[in-house]
Chains A and B, each alone.
Chain A
Amino acid sequence: MSAFAMDWYLIALVIFTGFYCMLASRSIVRQLIGLELISKGAMLTVISAGHQTSNLVLAQALLITMIVIEVVVVAAGLALLVKNFRIHGTADIWKLDGLKG
């Protein structure tokens, strides 16, 4: 097996772990942790692909954009967690629909 295929195989394991976390848990924090893990896997694929095609410069430029988006998504998710906790006293993601209105 080539190094590229081995890297992507291990990245697939990280992404599977993230998906499993999002499926198994109802806590908003764990949902965000799962999302972060999937995002890390996506970042690794971008850099690995950039390395494979000898275009690391563009891959890094894309990755910086991804990191900024990731921070904003996590900040917005945690803001919803705090709001949900203040209203319902729980971090259950199924209670998020109580914020509508």
Chain B
Amino acid sequence: MTYHNLLFVLAAFFAVWAVMARKLLTSAIMLALVSVTVSLIFFDFGAPWAGVFELSVCAGLITVLFIGGVSLIRTEEEKRPEGRARFYALPLALAAFAIAAWFYLPPFFEELAGAKVLVSGGGTIGAALWGLRRPDLLGQVLMLAAGVFVIKSVFPRRTEK
């Protein structure tokens, strides 16, 4: 097994662990490990910018957000834990899916790979972001503003009467 495939297998393994973990804190940490593995895959593909963003934002910021949320509800979660039977069935369901998909999905993916159109992928990430995808940047700014607005509307300032 190559390093590349090993990273994909590790990502799937950590994903299963994140879903099956009894404690939500363990789930959040496993999700961070999935992010780290995915960023290593990006580096392996030769996409360092995506890898850096994934590592800093997804493995860093989102994990902090998750751990903050989990620490708030931890006492309630320990008092009334969810039923575990459905989570213990995950490996079985995943194995059934993996076996069924082994026969049907790879031929479809081979067909997809055969239909690829090679394009000139030259240039730098800066040129792509500021030249080709400038409307995306505007969309990102608007999306961040929408996020701030959501937080503000969910937690309105209390007015004393």
Contacts and interface: CB of A to CB of B under 8 A. Distances in A.
Contact of B42 (A29, A47, A65): A47
Nearest to A85: B73
Determine chain A's interface SS by DSSP, over half rule.
Answer: helix
B36 to A, nearest CB: 11
B161 interface: no
Contacts of B9: 10
Contact of B50 (A53, A60, A89): A60
Interface in B93-137: 93-94, 97-98, 101-102, 105-106, 109-110, 112-113, 116-119, 121-125, 127-129, 132-133, 136
Given A17-B15, A47-B42, A58-B128, A53 B121 contact: yes
A12 B112 CA distance: 15
A22 to B, nearest CB: 10
A98 to B, nearest CB: 14
**Most B C-beta atoms less than 10 A away, residue of A27, A33, A76, A90:** A33
A57 B41 CA distance: 16
Contact of A68 (B90, B121, B144, B155): B144
Given A54-B118, A72-B146, A80 B154 contact: yes
A40 to B, nearest CB: 5
A50 B132 CA distance: 15
A64 B87 CA distance: 32
Given A13-B98, A27-B82, A64 B8 contact: no
Given A44-B38, A71-B61, A51 B46 contact: yes
A67 B124 contact: no
B15 A58 contact: no
Contact of B38 (A7, A43, A51, A56): A43
Interface residues of A, number: 70
B110 to A, nearest CB: 5
Given A27-B24, A55-B119, A67 B53 contact: yes
A69 B24 CA distance: 23
Interface in B53-89: 53-54, 57-58, 61-62, 65-66, 68-70, 72-73, 76-77, 80, 82, 86-87, 89
A83 B155 contact: yes
Interface of A: 1-14, 16-18, 20-21, 24-27, 29-30, 32-34, 36-37, 40, 43-44, 47-48, 50-65, 67-72, 74-76, 78-83, 85, 89-91
